[in-house]
Structures are given as structure tokens and as C-alpha cells.
Amino acid sequence: MKVSLFVTCLADVFYPGVGKDTVEVLERLGCEVDFPEKQTCCGQPAFNSGYHIDTIKVAKHMITTFEHADYVVTPSGSCAAMLKEYPELLKEERDWEKRAEQLANKTFEFTQFLVHVLKIEKVDAELNANATYHTSCHMTRLLRETEAPLKLLNGVKGLNLEELPNREACCGFGGTFAVKMSSISEQMVNEKVMHIEDTKAEVLIGADCGCLMNIGGRLERSGKQVKVMHIAQVLNSQESLTKG
Amino acid sequence: MPMKIGDPSFDTRVEKGLKDTFMRQAVTSAQERLKLAKGKAEEELGNWEEWRSLSEEIRAHTLENIDYYLHQLSENVSKNGGHVFFAQTAEDANAYIKEVAQKKNAKKVIKSKSMVTEEISMNEALESVGCEVIESDLGEYILQIDDHDPPSHIVAPALHKNKEQIRDTFIEKKGYTKSSNPQELTLFARELLRKEFLEADIGVTGCNFAVAESGSISLVTNEGNARLATTLPKTQITVMGMERVVPTWEELDILVSMLCRSAVGQKLTSYVTGLTGAREEGDVDGPEEFHLVIVDNGRSKILGTEFQAALHCIRCAACINVCPVYRHVGGHSYGSIYPGPIGAVLTPLLEGYDDHKELPYASTLCAACTDACPVKIPLHEMLVKHRRNIAEEKRTTLSETFAMKGFGLVASSPALFNMSTRTAPFMLSPFTKDGSIKNGPGPMKGWTDIRDFPESKKERFRDWYKHRESKKGGGSK
Ligand code: SF4
């Protein structure tokens, strides 16, 4: 199966490891992965800030970049949801709207793709750790994907998953919100950190780099020892966790 | 009480909210309790998603045909001997209500809970013609005697107060001598209020829904105060927002059930009252005169726009009860009597962006509100639409506009994108230490004030990929 990876700008620049792990897991499962080099960003920062004319430019570029793809897979619930927003964004331009729909229909978040398209619920991975999973807002409420990541995580050898209390609560990221309303964001991420600590987990897993950057940044700043991992890293993990 | 409340600056209000630990504790525990109760009520009803869709359909149909149903409602109210007044503005509504009060030579007005009368500042209008206005909803009463503290929630207006604070207010203002036990507090208020009910010349109520087919109004309460307010005084004035109409009793049945379950997690509240017209011959109680004031006050200009669904709101506060921003900043931070997600959507629609342009940004767009709404209003999407309007009207800061335009340019050009992501590590290197940034420059400050920012990697994913492909002898597209 041919898969085109949309790595997302965050993973490209800040978390390249997430991209590598995504590629390696997909290849191990028999996919042929291609990385269209012209890809940039899904446009969410501009879209959520209300700059829709500027987002349209980005959307058109992304639609063109992925036009040849059979499937577009991305290790981010949030960016997958944004790509699925393109048809609505382009509804005034018939042709583009159609092309946007084609892109939306073939776009899948990484775990969604594994479970719903490849029909795989167990990948060969091992991580000996106590962990908890952050169900991000965009995965659960925009993409409506709650099961795929948990199914996959339950199949990881050695991994013990504790449920995160108040797991449906937002971590306080919200893109520019984290900067614009940082004092509110701080309280939200503090609450998330508190709940993570309640689980006694050594590892926090998530499927959105944005949330992980927020929660991870706060954990680091407050000197907490919890390690943050993207789900692709967990699914590509082959060894027991070496702490430190 | 005008729609606008508190300090004029959003930041000051938020700062105050964040520091108010009592309020935040009260809000957090109320949110937890209400969320749990709503979840149980949804489960108990079964097929919640289908009920939501049906409710959405009812509201959408009604608003699409609002002229028809309002006409039918007003015909039927008149047929039942009531008076109907369509008020285009708050001033029109208040002028009419004052006129009724003056004609009746009213000295005292007793009120049951109503958000729309807060919106139009009816109390102040009545007071200006010498009428004393008494709130009979316990929450509203507490706020009223506490020097008109504004409501912070649309269902539980005094949600921001704990029982000790309420006791102190009762002690200070009304000579209360007992404990902070809620039962004792309620009993005390009840006795004071009973006297007021008996003395009132006019009863004013809000209206949860008006039934067009019969010209009736319905009121949903847990305290029964609306019943007294509509049976003891000789004159009754009901004030409703123009969108609060349902076609028939059948739809009323569904929406009342959704309202009670979503608001307080009850199948039904203790009292659900349906009232049709004034007292008729042979009736043992009820007012002699009935007035229905239907308030527009900016609503009709929302009709036909992409915000029309905001008028579907049944004021259950479910969106407020799940909102993580509301949880930390409290209702007063919104600067409007309509707080939380619905407030952030509705307030700028009713009052414009001038005073409320921060509200649409007071959200992470986490969509918890949209998911909670029993009539499926896409609240978080509407917040983005507001942001779009604000940006297009050039009300954002220049630096933001500049940054976003720049972003659009870079993210739609692979060459620029490639260049800027490649140079980012070098640009940020003076700020980077041990793999992270702790003191970011310019706009990054908001981020790094409270958390670390990851370093931007010299080998980006795309570099790794390209390298790997070239080693394989292939090439990337
Ligand atoms: S917007 Fe929806 S959830 Fe919020 S108060 Fe209105 S009906 Fe309730």
C-alpha cells in the first residue's frame, strides 16, 4: 500500500524522531512511504486565528502537493482534522472544494490509518513502562477517534496503561491561545500535570505534538521526571525504557 | 443590571478571576457535580445523540419560521385575553414595562429568574419609576442583597459564591444569626421572600419556552418561586427573548426534557409550569392581567447569518459547565451576563465587537462546549467565525496581522518554508540551552514564561528522509 506522509511542521522541525518512527512503523507493516517534499503546514495557526484568506493559500498549496497520493497519513489528530476542514474553507470555489474533499477523504491520522485502513490492532512493539494516555481534543472531538490509539497501545508488550483522570479535558494548548492567554493556559496545563502525576505514570503518551509540546514543556519547567512520547515512538519502541 | 459587567478590561477581569481561589474552588466542584449528573441523565434517557439531533431540528425549524410562530403565539395570547408587546430594543421593552407598572400604581415587583430582564436592565428601569424590585430566585436574591453582585452563570447565578460567603452576606445585610448550613440559609431567605410575595403588585417572569399553538408560556424551576410570582400578584409580566418559542406542546415536551437533563441532570426539575393567559372566570388563582413582552434587542439581526444557530440556545449552561476556560476564570471574566462559550459567541453578536473582541479568543477551541450542547450549536466553530470577522475588520494588532500574513506566505511556498525551517535553529540558538528554550524572544515570551520550548532541530525530518532516500539510491518527489 502506498502512503504519503504529511509529517506536520512541528514534527518536521522540533520532533523529527516522531516522523522517523511513523515512517518505520508504516514500512514495517508493509507500506511504501513517500514524503512529498513540497509539503509545509496544515495552516491551522492562521485558520484558528481567523486569517482565512491566508489559510486558503496554504490549503491550496497542500491540496496540490498531495494530489497524487492514495492515502495521506499524518502523526497528528489536530492536523488531520485541519486537512478535513479544507472543503468548508474552500466552499466558495467549486473546483477547489472538490479537490479539497478528495484530500479530506484520503487523509488519516496515523493510528486511525493503522486500525481502520490497515486493520491492524497490534504492532510488534515493546515498552516496559507505566504510562498514561492524553486523549487530545482534536483526536476525540474533531476526528471522533477514541479507540484506535488505545487498541494499539494495549497491544504493546510490557506497557501498563493507567487511565488519566478527567482525560477529556483540554491541556490548555490551543495554538496561539497558549501565548495569547498564557495565564489561563498555565492553569489548564497545571491541572493536566496534576492529573498525570496522580496516575504515577513514568511516561505520558499522546497523538498530537502540539499537546505534547505544551504538557512536556510544563513538565520540564516544573522539574517533573515524566517522559513524554508520541504514540508513533511507542509503537516503534523495541526495548524496555531506560530511565534518565 | 446591564449586559456588560465588571471592569472594562478583559485582562484585569481575568487576572482577578484567576486569583480568586474561593470562586475557582466553587466553580470546579460545581462543574464536576453538574457534568456527572448530566452524564447520568443522558445515559438514563438513552439514544442521547438522536435526541440531540431531534432537538437541533426542532430549534432550526422554529428559527427558520420564526415570523410564523411568533405571529401565532401573539394571536393566541391575545385570544386568551393577554397583551402582547414586541420590543425592538431594550428601551422599548422597559418603556412598556414601566408604563404597565405606573398604570397599576405598582410599588413592589417580585421577579422569578430571567436572563433577558438582566440583559435589558429592567430592574433599574423599574426602580427609576419608584418600583422596588425583589428577586425571588434564591441565587438571584443572594446577589441582589449583596449589593447587586452580577450573575456569573446563567442557571446558577451565584455559582461563584460558597455557602460561607452567602452566610456572611445574610448576616451583614439581613441580620441572619445562624450557620452556613444550606437548609438554614434557604429557610431564612424563604421567610423573607414570602412576605415580599404577598406584598407584590406585579410578578415578572422570564420564559423558558412559549408555546405558539396555545399561546402559553412555560417556566422551569426547582424552587417553585415562579409559581408564586405568577399566582399571587394581580398583574403578571412575562419577558421573553424572541427566539424562545416552540411550535406545539410536543416540541415543548422534548426541549424541556433536554433542558432539565442538560442543565442540572434531572429528568425534570421540581416545577415545570405551563401558563395560559390571565385568570378566567371560575379560576381560583392567577393574575388578573397578563402581559407578554417579546424582546428582539439585536436578535433579529442574527437571523439569516452564519450565526443563526446561536439563537437555538435553550440556556441550559451545559457548555459553561464543561468549559475549561470558564473553570479557571469564572463567569465575571467574560464581562457579560452571558458567560462561557455561549456568552463568547452571543455577547459580541448582541453588543458588537468594540467591547467584547477578546471573548472569541478565550477558548482553546477544544470543542467540549459543542459536544455538550443539547441542541448541537457548533460553538467552537462560531468562535473561529468571530475571529475571522475580527481579523477581517482589522481589529487585531498589527504584529499579529503581520505574523499571520507572513505565515500564509511562508506556508504556501515550499522554498520559503524550507528556508525558514532550516534557519530557525540558528536564529533561536542564542536562546537555546540544553535542548530547550527557557526565555523566548518576542511573541514566544507568553509560551516560555510558563513552559520550556523545544529546540528546533538542525536535522529536520525532511533532511533525514532525503539523506535516507539518497543512500537507498531512490529520490523523493
Ligand atoms: S449553547 Fe447549547 S449548551 Fe450552551 S447554554 Fe445554549 S443550549 Fe446550553
Dump the DSSP string for chain A: -EEEE---HHHHHT-HHHHHHHHHHHHHTT-EEE--TT-----HHHHHTT-HHHHHHHHHHHHHHTTT-S-EEES-HHHHHHHTTHHHHTTTSHHHHHHHHHHHHHEEEHHHIIIIIS-----S-EEEEEEEEE--HIIIIIS---HHHHHHHHTSEEEEEEPPTTTTS--S-TTTHHHHTHHHHHHHHHHHHHHHHHHT-SEEEES-HHHHHHHHHHHHHTT---EEEEHHHHHT--S-----
C-alpha span between A238 and A225 (Å, rounded): 22
Distance in Å, alpha carbon of B67 to nearest chain A alpha carbon: 30
User: Which chain A residues are Cβ-neighbours of B453 within 8 angstroms?
Assistant: 213, 217
Residue nearest to atom 3 of ligand 1 (CA): B373
pTM confidence score: 0.94
Residue A5 confidence (pLDDT): 98
Distance in Å, alpha carbon of A24 to nearest chain B alpha carbon: 11
Question: Residue B426: in which H helix or E strand, if any?
Answer: helix B414-428
Rounded mean pLDDT of A131-143?
Answer: 94
C-alpha span between A231 and A235 (Å, rounded): 6
* Residue-wise burial string across A155-168, b where 16 or more C-beta atoms lie within 10 A, e elsewhere: ebeebebeebeebb
Q: What is the ipTM of this complex?
A: 0.94
Q: Looking at chain A from residue 134 to 173, which residues have their Cβ under 8 Å from any Cβ of chain B?
A: 137, 141-142, 168-170, 172-173
Q: Looking at chain A from residue 80 to 119, which residues have their Cβ under 8 Å from any Cβ of chain B?
A: none
Give me the count of residues in chain A: 244
Residue B240 confidence (pLDDT): 98
User: Which chain A residues are Cβ-neighbours of B389 within 8 angstroms?
Assistant: 50
CB contact under 8 A, B461 and A188: no
| Residue B38 phi, psi dihedral angles, 5° rounding | -65, -45
Specify the number of domains making up chain B: 2
Distance A115 CA to ligand 1 centre (A): 35
Question: Residue B240: in which H helix or E strand, if any?
Answer: strand B235-241
CATH number for the domain that contains residue B272: 3.40.50.10420
Index of the ligand 1 atom closest to the CA of residue B263: 8
Look at residue B271 and give its three-state secondary structure.
strand
List helix spans (H) across B277-339. Answer: 318-322, 324-329
Look at residue B353 and give its three-state secondary structure.
coil
- Is B131 marked within a binding site? no
Question: Residue B37: in which H helix or E strand, if any?
Answer: helix B21-45
Residue closest to B55 by CA, chosen among B255, B315, B208, B246: B255
Answer whether A177 touches B (CB < 8 Å): yes
- Is B212 inside any structural domain? yes
CB within 8 A of B351, min separation 6: which ones? B3, B4, B298, B336
**Listed residues B244, B273, B300: the one ending a domain:** B300
Distance in Å, alpha carbon of B155 to nearest chain A alpha carbon: 22
Q: Looking at chain A from residue 190 to 229, which residues have their Cβ under 8 Å from any Cβ of chain B?
A: 191, 213-214, 216-218, 220-221
Distance in angstroms between the alpha carbons of the first and the last residue of chain B: 64
Index of the ligand 1 atom closest to the CA of residue B345: 1
B436-437 and B432-433: which strand pairing? antiparallel
Chain B: residue nearest A175 by CA? B364
What pLDDT band is residue A241 in, cutting at 50, 70 and 90?
Answer: low
Residue B281 confidence (pLDDT): 77
Domain ranges (residues) in chain A:
2-116, 121-235
- Is B62 inside any structural domain? yes
3-state helix vs strand vs coil in chain B, percent to 5: 55, 10, 35
- Is B40 inside any structural domain? no
Whether pLDDT at A243 is above 60: no
C-alpha span between A185 and A172 (Å, rounded): 5
**Listed residues B269, B300, B331: the one ending a domain:** B300
Residue closest to B111 by CA, chosen among B190, B225, B3: B225
Question: Residue B182: in which H helix or E strand, if any?
Answer: helix B182-199
Selected residue with higher pLDDT from B275 and A98: A98
Residue B476 confidence (pLDDT): 45
* Residue in A62, A78, A137 to test binding to B, most B beta-carbons within 10 Å: A137
- Is B207 marked within a binding site? no
Residue nearest to atom 8 of ligand 1 (CA): B316
Q: What order do you get walking across the sheet with A32-34 strand by strand? A: A32-34, A2-5, A72-74, A107-109
Flag residues of chain B having pLDDT under 70: 1-2, 474-477
User: Which chain A residues are Cβ-neighbours of B396 within 8 angstroms?
Assistant: 49-50
CB contact under 8 A, B18 and A183: yes
Chain A: residue nearest B367 by CA? A141
Give me B406's grid cell: 507572513
Chain A: residue nearest B389 by CA? A50
User: Which chain A residues are Cβ-neighbours of B474 within 8 angstroms?
Assistant: none
pLDDT digits (tens, 9 = 90+) for A34-45: 999 999 999 999
User: Which chain A residues are Cβ-neighbours of B443 within 8 angstroms?
Assistant: 179
Range of the domain at B219: 51-300
Task: Please answer whether residues A155 and A122 qualify as being in contact, where contact means their C-beta atoms are separated by less than 8 angstroms.
Answer: yes
The residue to mutate among B257, B334, B342, having the most atoms of ligand 1 within 8 angstroms of its beta carbon, is B342
CB within 8 A of A95, min separation 6: which ones? none
Q: How many CB atoms lie within 10 A of CB A67?
A: 12
Distance A98 CA to ligand 1 centre (A): 33
Identity of the residue in B325, B408, B476 whose CB atom sits nearest the CB atom of A35: B476
pLDDT digits (tens, 9 = 90+) for A174-216: 998 999 999 999 999 999 999 999 999 999 999 999 999 999 9
Give me B11's grid cell: 485582562
- Is B451 inside any structural domain? yes
Distance in Å, alpha carbon of B2 to nearest chain A alpha carbon: 26
What pLDDT band is residue A244 in, cutting at 50, 70 and 90?
Answer: very low
Distance B124 CA to ligand 1 centre (A): 27
CB contact under 8 A, A217 and B447: yes
pLDDT digits (tens, 9 = 90+) for A214-235: 999 999 999 999 999 999 999 9
pLDDT digits (tens, 9 = 90+) for A100-111: 999 999 999 999
Residues lining ligand 1, CB < 6 A? Answer: B 262, 313-319, 342, 372-375, 377, 379
Chain B: residue nearest A143 by CA? B367
What pLDDT band is residue A240 in, cutting at 50, 70 and 90?
Answer: low
Q: What is the third-level CATH fold of A121-235?
A: Rossmann fold (3.40.50)
- Is B344 inside any structural domain? no
Q: How many CB atoms lie within 10 A of CB B429?
A: 13
Give me B348's grid cell: 459580541
Identity of the residue in B14, B445, B452 whose CB atom sits nearest the CB atom of A184: B14
A126-134 and B132-135: which strand pairing? unpaired
**Listed residues B268, B300, B332: the one ending a domain:** B300
CB within 8 A of B22, min separation 6: which ones? B162, B165
Task: Please answer whether residues B455 and B432 qualify as being in contact, where contact means their C-beta atoms are separated by less than 8 angstroms.
Answer: yes
Residue B39 confidence (pLDDT): 95
CB contact under 8 A, B451 and A49: no
- Is B369 marked within a binding site? yes
Chain A: residue nearest B368 by CA? A141
- Is B181 inside any structural domain? yes
Residue B272 confidence (pLDDT): 80
Distance B321 CA to ligand 1 centre (A): 10
